Chains A and B, each alone.
Chain A
């Protein structure tokens, strides 16, 4: 399929889905509207809600808050994950002691931590950041741990024979290997940072996209809920595109066939 043809087909799917949605919510079929607008709204209302948000500028504040929370969650979670991953991989005894607890905390559905974080950190951004951190941390941690442990022995021996000391091995062998694993899970960890932020906002906050959706839901404004969802997915897609650009730069040395891990 040619590129333009593919694009056209993709566009067609959107048009058909929207048309169907509009049709079923506004035109009676056999004297009955199949999708009651109260529950399903309709594309025109959702669209005008989005336009209203952007033209009045209210949306920017929420977008920026969510973006900021996601960035903080990602950065803090990643740094902690890299440090602890490195530490555990280089100290097998420490890793063995903490292993059951790491598994236990990771097994916990993170949403249940949200109320605790809200209690501890209040309704501001930090309770959302904390939730995002607990999600990002484990992805980065496991990847870095794996990355350090699975450094090829031949490459390590080569480094030693070339005269590297422990510090230089760290810098030229362990570190790049660990980072490559971390970067290959970049999409997942960035995605989870956003999830943490939005879920946190949804469960209790005063600003952000999750807050916007939750507010609309509270007054049965279905158009607002859908509009929030659309803005949110566009937001995530944009971030993801940014991640792809960063990833291409950072992982140029990787064979193209290697798929992301994590």
Chain B
């Protein structure tokens, strides 16, 4: 899918992320991560719980600064926040005091767009995520899935070149996740942004992405695998899971991931024992 004429959308070079914890101790979350996302490419990062997947995403967003290594966005070193990126958070990130349409329109309004025009575009985006009739609802009046749809519209209305997604469908039930996955693919297919999608669900990753990147268990998590998904597009999330290629790839990746998941599990139980 990658368009070679375009510069790489996101490039992490030997990025190490460390946090200072209690005094002089340093906790290394991610060590020497090399990762590149081509223009128009959909990359999923999969790893055990607490491996620093979200940390990596925050580095790409500019919300976190790596202790060492480089972050380049379209070949430019990243300073401050990543202005090319839209970020869909795992937790609820909508402004609870704004209606759905105001939540979506805000991205344009802060850029100085006239309110009338912003509202019009926001209404169009709400319609394209299937919430045209819910414009005047406040977030608490919407279901979890509906809130994610508003979140998606809120991010996409700004037309970012890069889409960063942190387990965006994690809190949703299985059916809603599939529907949201298909919606995401449909919207992505329209203009093929570069996507970095973090998830702990390998099946979701394979069904959505062009590439699946596997991280080891933390601390000092590393990228330990990188697979290309050759399933044809456009895909339907629920149907693609039935295909033979899907199963083979899943088995192959899971062979690597399984050990890390077990390591991550053991570490989390030990940490609980100590703490």
Contact = CB atoms under 8 A, between A and B. Distances in A.
B93 A163 contact: no
A157 B89 CA distance: 9
Contact of B106 (A152, A154, A172, A253): A172
Nearest to B58: A157
B140 A157 contact: no
B19 interface: no
A176 B138 CA distance: 14
B125 interface: no
B238 to A, nearest CB: 30
Contacts of A154: 89, 91-93
Interface in B27-66: 61, 63
Ranked nearest first, the 10 interchain pairs of A and B with the lowest CB-CB distance are: A158-B93, A253-B138, A161-B87, A255-B140, A176-B97, A154-B91, A154-B93, A253-B97, A162-B107, A168-B110
The A contact surface, by secondary structure, is helix
B95 A172 contact: yes
Interface string A142-172: 0000000000101101111111110010001
Interface string B86-114: 11010111111111000000110011000
A173 B95 contact: yes
B72 interface: no
A159 B106 CA distance: 9
The range of chain B's interface size is 20 to 34
A3 interface: no
B194 interface: no
A128 B238 CA distance: 70
Contacts of B154: 162
Contacts of B107: 162-163
B140 A253 contact: yes
A161 B85 contact: yes
Interface in A166-193: 168, 172-173, 176-177, 180
Interface of B: 61, 63, 81-83, 85-87, 89, 91-99, 106-107, 110-111, 138-140, 154-155, 158
Contact of A163 (B91, B95, B158): B158
A93 interface: no
Contacts of A176: 95, 97
Given A154-B92, A252-B138, A163 B111 contact: yes
A150 to B, nearest CB: 13
A162 B110 contact: yes
Given A152-B91, A161-B85, 12 more contacts: A154-B93, A157-B87, A157-B93, A158-B93, A160-B63, A161-B82, A162-B110, A163-B111, A177-B97, A252-B138, A253-B96, A254-B96
A163 B157 CA distance: 12
The B contact surface, by secondary structure, is loop
Given A154-B91, A155-B93, A157-B93, A163 B110 contact: yes
Contacts of B81: 160-161
Nearest to B91: A154
Nearest to B107: A162
Contacts of B83: 163
The listed residue with most B CB atoms (<10 A of its CB), out of A154, A161, A165, A255, is A161
Contacts of A155: 92-96
A259 to B, nearest CB: 14
B95 A157 contact: no
A172 B111 CA distance: 13
17 contacts: A152-B93, A155-B93, A155-B94, A155-B96, A158-B89, A161-B61, A161-B85, A162-B107, A162-B155, A162-B158, A252-B138, A253-B96, A253-B97, A253-B98, A253-B139, A253-B140, A254-B140
Contact of B97 (A160, A164, A180): A180
